[in-house]
């Protein structure tokens, strides 16, 4: 990413000349306002170098390359000093807004910053900036099955034996892995329903860790759509090594 510019709240007017999002394609909100505490780098992990580019650049490029996505809204930290001022990727508009102290708040800010042309009943995607290895075919399958189901998320079935630990990190119990899945992103919901669910969780003081949790609390039953195990979330430095390996494989696939 070229020279950094401070994050600023984009209004619909900012990208009017490119807001003609590709007809029939969905907008994607990208929460990218985290601090990367568990990663422990000098800069927020979304800006650490990954295969020669900032991690966030990979994620945004992979989303913009997806045929089914028409525009991106990136929620940035108010003091983000690394954002390069992108306004377009692959001919698709890139808008920004200021995120919040929690991921759910950043997602809500992104939903609010979507162009007015995105109606309340329109489906939108939410994808972590920290997941640079997402596959376009997974996104397409999520959209096709999620729209039919009224909302969905990519997920991976738990394949390891699951242990619960006591305070001394010793096995307290072995938990069933039957019907247990790991939630991934993107997650796909109607704009208004998701905003209502997130606002309701916030009012109720419930800390939701993904969009589907907020939707479940609001009475919805999102569909799990199996996604690639390679769609990892970069949380610690060890994940970055794996992400570089996975990206190389994705590039080899073309
Ligand atoms: N207040 C926040 C917190 C997180 N995120 C984003 O949500 C995604 C998943 O969050 P996580 O992996 O937990 O990132 P961090 O919160 O930065 O990591 P940590 O918890 O280690 O600080 C990331 O793309 C992150 O930038 C966000 O937009 N706003
Ligand atoms: C949204 C998510 O990636 C689904 O697994 C996860 O909940 C994010 O958690 P984090 O602690 O904010 O990284």
The 10s digit of each residue's pLDDT in 9-31 is 544 434 444 555 566 799 999 99
Asked whether residue 88 is assigned to any structural domain, the reply reads yes
Paired residues of 183 in beta bridges: 155
Host domain of residue 59: 15-249
CATH number of the domain encompassing residue 33: 3.90.550.10
Q: How far is the CA of 15 from the centre of ligand 2 (A)?
A: 29
Residue among 183, 194, 224, 231 to mutate when testing ligand 2 (max atoms within 8 A of CB): 183
Asked whether residue 141 is assigned to any structural domain, the reply reads yes
Ligand 1 pocket residue status of 239, Cβ below 6 Å: no
Asked whether residue 1 is assigned to any structural domain, the reply reads no
Segment 161-174 shows an average pLDDT of 97
Cis peptide bond N-terminal to 186, omega within 30 = yes
| Total domain count, the chain | 1
Asked whether residue 62 is assigned to any structural domain, the reply reads yes
Measured distance CA(132)–CA(150) in Å, rounded: 26
Residue 89 structure tokens? 């990727």
Residue located nearest, by CA, to atom 1 of ligand 2: 210
Asked whether residue 10 is assigned to any structural domain, the reply reads no
**Ligand 2 nearest atom to the CA of residue 103, by list position:** 12
Q: 3-class secondary structure for 82-137?
A: CCCCCCEECCEEEEEEECCCCHHHHHHHHHHCCCCCCCCCCEEEECCCCCCCCCHH
The 10s digit of each residue's pLDDT in 78-114 is 999 999 999 999 999 999 999 999 999 999 999 999 9
Q: How far is the CA of 67 from the centre of ligand 2 (A)?
A: 25
Asked whether residue 254 is assigned to any structural domain, the reply reads no
**Interface pTM (ipTM) of the complex?**
0.99
Please tell me the pTM assigned to this model.
0.93
Asked whether residue 6 is assigned to any structural domain, the reply reads no
Asked whether residue 108 is assigned to any structural domain, the reply reads yes
- Residue 19: per-residue pLDDT: 55
Q: Closest by alpha carbon to 129, among 216, 229, 35, 237?
A: 35
């Amino acid at each position: 990413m070229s020279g950094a510019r401070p994050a600023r709240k984009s209004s619909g007017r900012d990208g009017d000349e490119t807001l003609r999002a590709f007809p029939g394609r969905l907008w994607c909100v990208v929460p990218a306002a985290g601090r990367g505490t568990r990663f422990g780098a000098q800069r927020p992990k979304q800006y650490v170098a990954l295969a020669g580019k900032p991690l966030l650049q990979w994620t945004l490029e992979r989303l913009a390359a997806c045929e089914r996505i028409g525009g991106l809204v990136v929620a940035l930290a108010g003091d983000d000093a690394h954002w390069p001022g992108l306004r377009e990727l692959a001919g698709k508009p890139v808008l920004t807004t200021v995120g919040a102290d929690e991921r759910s708040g950043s997602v809500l800010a992104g939903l609010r910053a979507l162009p007015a042309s995105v109606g309340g009943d329109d489906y939108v995607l939410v994808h972590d900036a920290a997941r640079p290895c997402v596959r376009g075919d997974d996104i397409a399958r999520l959209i096709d099955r999620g729209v039919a189901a009224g909302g969905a998320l990519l997920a991976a079935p738990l394949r390891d034996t699951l242990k619960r630990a006591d305070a001394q990190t010793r096995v307290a119990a072995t938990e069933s892995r039957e019907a247990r899945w790991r939630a991934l992103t993107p997650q796909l919901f109607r704009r208004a329903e998701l905003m209502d669910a997130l606002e309701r969780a916030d009012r109720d003081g419930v800390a939701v860790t993904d969009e589907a949790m907020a939707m479940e609390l609001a009475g919805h039953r999102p569909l799990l759509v199996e996604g690639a195990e390679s769609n990892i979330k970069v949380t610690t430095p060890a994940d970055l090594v794996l992400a570089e390996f996975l990206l190389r494989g994705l590039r080899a696939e073309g």
